[in-house]
Amino acid sequence: MDFSNVTILIGDDSILARKQLIDIIQEYATGATFVQAKDGEDAIQKYNETHPTLVFLDIVMPIKDGISAVKGIMENDPEADIVIVSSVGTQAQLRAAIDAGAKDFIQKPIRKDQVLHVVKSHLGGN
């Protein structure tokens, strides 16, 4: 499908994790633009600059963690579509992310089928 009008923000302190997500998503969301953030503060700034359609955030990041980033993004855009992607899967952190406004969660290590399911459900398509 053509997603040339879609911008996706990937916030993770691991370059490898960001690349892995982008590679998987590009298989489905052909033409999408990707914006990368290296920490939570960077994610908030880049969200405000680019207003992406979909956001993927790790929970454990320097400067501001993913939960703080979700809160910061939601303050400026309560309709933001944010997916948490993290190996830290404690119920308390997941609940805090959802309470802050995250719409979905993917457990690391990520699986291609799981990522594509989330992308399809958030961006539409078959």
pLDDT score for 118: 95
Domain of 26, in residue numbers: 7-123
Is residue 2, in this structure, part of any structural domain at all? no
Number of domains in the chain: 1
Is residue 14, in this structure, part of any structural domain at all? yes
Q: What is the CATH number of the domain that holds 40?
A: 3.40.50.2300
pLDDT score for 89: 60
What is the rounded average pLDDT of the residues 9-17?
Answer: 97
Is residue 112, in this structure, part of any structural domain at all? yes
pLDDT score for 10: 98
Instruction: Report the chain's mean pLDDT, rounded to a whole number.
Output: 92
Is residue 1, in this structure, part of any structural domain at all? no
Q: Write the single-letter amino acid at 74.
A: M
Q: What is the pTM of this model?
A: 0.94
CA distances from 73 to 56, 84, 113 (A): 12, 13, 27
